Chain A
């Protein structure tokens, strides 16, 4: 959490090394997954990125049909058998509660879906490459309340099997689903801790005033 412009998106982009794309950006320090430093390594960057599913602020479906959107990551990593793909696509679309809505039009362009459906499609697409971590940057901010609730419920379910790093502007949303909270301001982490403690008993002045809604 943190006010607008405090660097939440930037931090997230560091995590799956999208910052590499921008040659002017310099990232220092370490990012550990387990005891593996993924920032200072010569390991295959595509493999690192694949460990993390990315859900952006707005859905960006790939320019292809619904089926291929979900199958994309699998195809990229060389899984091309039709039967296998069909099974996996159905599995992941079911996982995000989208299957019933789209099963009759898997060959339609993904852009034809509603924004809420597109966001769930993007989640399914991310899950399909079997990540360990889900990076979600304000995944509900462009959605209507019902779609938001769907995504939120999904996250509550998914967090048992994935590590979810989620950026949110909505305090109540954080209260509802966070286990661990990091509060940022001006590009720095101000305070962090288990959600319960963070919300009940914040240590820093700044956190207190943020939680009271004095600035955002």
Chain B
């Protein structure tokens, strides 16, 4: 009898625990759904009056007269992200290859915590560093070198700060990726007479390619959504930037700078919600795409 009771309570407890876990899991699953729905509903008043495409491709940003063109912000976001990636891709790739394929083990052991520390630095600090170091450097050195004048607050400054922020994040993924490629695979290539570099080029990079692409996809979604550090150095001028030394105004900065007054101007809140929605969709897209790629490549190899 006693045993029966014990057995029942054991099962009961098990199902209670399982129930809690499912509840927590569904909260996690529902959050993105609610977020999407909320953003869509809130931005609807604006979409109701203007078609989405005309909003996206219009450069007129005059909230007071009810004109909301998102083009300058989207272009700024895209530029800052792309240039940040252009800077960080070679650095991340070469560093991770060196650390995992050439360097002695203790170098990686020292570097790993350094990378983790870099990844953990609050973004405001990167922003301040950008203002104190990157901005003067651009206005005093890079701009004159290119024969232009710039205050320093520019797409380039945003891209540099962003790339520094993305590097540790992507680097961690890449190091893990390269470390997971079996040594035997490289050894097979070497034993066929390939050099170290040939082995890296044809075997390691090839094997890791889907993972490499998706790591940059994840980095990209991170860069696209980064707010405060970019906002501090990018200039925040609502005009389509025509060069990397020009100021820009990425989407996250737009939202962060203006949420305070969004209730005082008609439809302003809907416009900010729409930009949040666009941001959300883009980030989601890159994230999901990268993860699908990782899963798919795991199956094939």
Contact = CB atoms under 8 A, between A and B. Distances in A.
B192 A122 contact: no
Contacts of A122: 188
Interface stretch (A32-40, A53-61, A89-97, A166-174): A53-61
B192 A72 contact: yes
Interface stretch (A44-52, A156-164, A182-190, A205-213): A44-52
B301 interface: yes
Contact of A60 (B104, B188, B193, B300): B188
A63 B186 CA distance: 11
A59 B192 CA distance: 14
Of listed B192, B193, B198, residue having the most chain A CB within 10 A: B192
B190 interface: yes
Contact of A18 (B104, B190, B195, B202): B190
A16 B188 CA distance: 11
Counting contact residues on chain B (CB < 8 A from A), the size range is 20 to 34
Interface string B185-209: 1011111111100100011001100
Contacts of B187: 18, 21, 54, 56, 60
Nearest to A16: B191
Interface in B195-230: 195, 198, 202-203, 206-207
Given A72-B202, A111-B300, A49 B190 contact: yes
Nearest to A50: B193
A73 interface: yes
Contact of A77 (B189, B191, B193, B206): B193
Nearest to B199: A76
A56 B188 contact: yes
A62 interface: yes
Contact of A49 (B104, B182, B193): B193
A54 B188 contact: yes
7 contacts: A23-B104, A46-B190, A46-B193, A47-B193, A60-B182, A63-B301, A126-B191
A63 B203 contact: yes
A111 B299 CA distance: 10
Interface in B156-208: 182-185, 187-195, 198, 202-203, 206-207
Contacts of B203: 62-63
A72 B189 contact: yes
Of listed B182, B188, B193, residue having the most chain A CB within 10 A: B193
Nearest first, the 7 closest Cβ-Cβ pairs linking A and B are: A50-B193, A54-B191, A73-B192, A63-B207, A60-B184, A76-B194, A46-B193
Nearest to A63: B207
Given A64-B206, A76-B198, A125 B192 contact: yes
Contacts of A111: 300-301
A50 B184 contact: no
Contact of B185 (A46, A53, A62, A135): A62
B192 A126 contact: yes
Nearest to A76: B194
Contacts of A23: 104
A148 to B, nearest CB: 20
B191 A76 contact: no
Given A49-B192, A62-B188, A62-B202, 8 more contacts: A54-B187, A60-B185, A62-B189, A63-B301, A64-B202, A76-B193, A109-B300, A135-B191
A129 interface: yes
Given A63-B203, A63-B207, A72-B202, A46 B188 contact: no
Contacts of B183: 21
A120 to B, nearest CB: 14
A52 B188 CA distance: 11
Nearest to B181: A63
A147 to B, nearest CB: 19
A56 B187 CA distance: 10
A16 B191 CA distance: 7
Given A18-B190, A72-B202, A46 B195 contact: yes
Nearest to A56: B184
Contacts of A125: 188, 192
B192 A50 contact: yes
Nearest to A64: B206
A60 B185 CA distance: 6
A50 B187 CA distance: 12
Contacts of B104: 23
Nearest to B191: A54
Interface in B60-114: 104
Nearest to B203: A62
B177 to A, nearest CB: 13
Contacts of A73: 192-194
Contacts of A50: 192-193
